Amino acid sequence: MKKISISLYAAITVALLSWGFYQAIYVAPADDRLGGQGELYRIIFYHVPSAMVAFLFFAISLAGSIGYLSFRHRRNAWAQISDAWALAGAEVGVVFCTVVLITGPIWGRRAWGIWWTWDARLTTTLVLWLIYVSYLLLRRFAAGPQVQTLAAVLGIFGALDVPIVYMSNRWWRMQHPAPVFGGDADSGFKDPRMLHAFGWNILAWLAWGLLILLVRYYVERRSQKLAAQEMQDALNA
Amino acid sequence: MRNLAVALLFALPAALFGWACSLIVFAPPEPPFDWMSQMSVADHDALVAFIDHQYTIAAYAITWAIQLGYLAWLGLRWQAQKRAAGSTASPCRSLPSTNA
């Protein structure tokens, strides 16, 4: 039953991604307004949903980190579950944040003529990515009983950058385009078909992200169980 | 056989990444600043739309290269854990509790 549910969910996700791609490339019209971006704006259908999903997963990592710190002395099983969610959220969040940091400059090269600028949104996003990469490096290379605690603290501080990234192009109007929602009069989608395509792609990337988040969570839980089993075997030997 | 399967698992993201890079590297040059003396408005617009399309598809391809590459890496870890779990004598137990 579980296998059927996962297969069904994966099939729905693939269908959503295909539909989202079709909407983004073939249904949404080109931005032909005076000074519009023509075909280039279609990058937004992958770039912005990836950023949204990354933020969501960093929030999951934050919740997992807080959970780990709360439960580590009282309920070890809950602490390990929280830690697995924290790691899975951080890692999959980094994957989506990497997508954001690569697709953004591809757009910028055509729109601005440069790959990168030290704009507030770009810089804060890069800092966010670096914090979570350092979180993953800490998890990968550090050893000892305090690694999970140190990682949880770093995960909490890393998540503090998320609202700064979100607000950066509202607080400091620099080169990055205004927000799609809640921006000025010129920002946002001018055609409902663009908005529909955007909505489908948010749904599709969220479904995909949750799928790989679950896979990563189960891999981590199994890793924890194997490590606990090895420890138990060593004690019994 | 296993090496071939692993190679195939990573071949698709690598191919997508290479294709995306080639789309950007081999994209036609921008129209010159004084393009009006060299081409019609329609030709100019078609050229710009074509370059924009190259970049858009490159961004999509790189997105999928990253996502599928990560999925392939997760799949490898999953398989490695399965082998490790299979090689141990006793079945997995739940985590030891430190609760008092």
- Note the pLDDT tens digit of each residue in A44-79: 999 999 999 999 999 999 999 999 999 988 888 899
Nearest-Cα residue of chain A relative to residue B64: A99
Transcribe chain B into DSSP letters. Answer: -HHHHHHHHHHHHHHHHHHHHHHHHTSPPPPPTTGGGTS-HHHHHHHHHHHHHHHHHHHHHHHHHHHHHHHHHHHHHHHHHHHHHHHSSSPP-PPPP---
What was the pLDDT predicted at B10? 86
What whole-number distance in Å separates Cα of residue A80 and Cα of residue A223?
11
State the best of B45, B52, B76, B82 to mutate against chain A, taking most chain A CBs within 10 Å: B52
Instruction: At A64, list the tokens.
Output: 């997992």
Q: Model ipTM?
A: 0.90
**Quick one: pLDDT band at residue B98, thresholds 50, 70, 90?**
very low
Give the pair of three-digit tokens for residue A22.
């079709």
Chain B residues with CB under 8 Å of a chain A CB are: 24, 48-49, 51-53, 55-56, 58-60, 62-63, 66-67, 70-71, 74, 77-78, 81, 84-85, 88, 90, 92-99
Closest Cα to residue A224, out of B1, B9, B97, B28?
A: B97
Give the closest of A50, A102, A229 to B92, CB-based: A229
Q: What is the spatial distance between Cα B64 and Cα A63, in angstroms, rounded to a whole number?
A: 28
Where along chain A do its domains lie? 44-177+191-236
Paired strand residues for A177 = none
Lowest mean pLDDT among A68-82, A189-203, B83-97: B83-97
Six token digits for residue A76: 């070890």
Query: Which residue among A76, A98, A229 places its CB closest to the CB of B98?
Result: A76
Taking residues A78-92, report their average pLDDT: 94
pLDDT at A33 over 80: no
Task: Summarize pLDDT for B31-88 with one digit per residue, the tens.
Answer: 887 878 888 888 888 888 899 999 999 999 999 999 999 999 998 888 888 887 777 6
Report for A66-75, A188-197, A200-209, B23-32: range of highest mean pLDDT: A200-209
Minimum Cα–Cα distance from A31: chain B residue: B49
Q: Which residue of A has its CA nearest to B21?
A: A106
Angle between helices A44-71 and A192-236 in degrees, nearest 10 = 30
Residue A213 CA: distances (Å) to CA of A13, A64, A140, A206, B60: 13, 13, 18, 10, 21
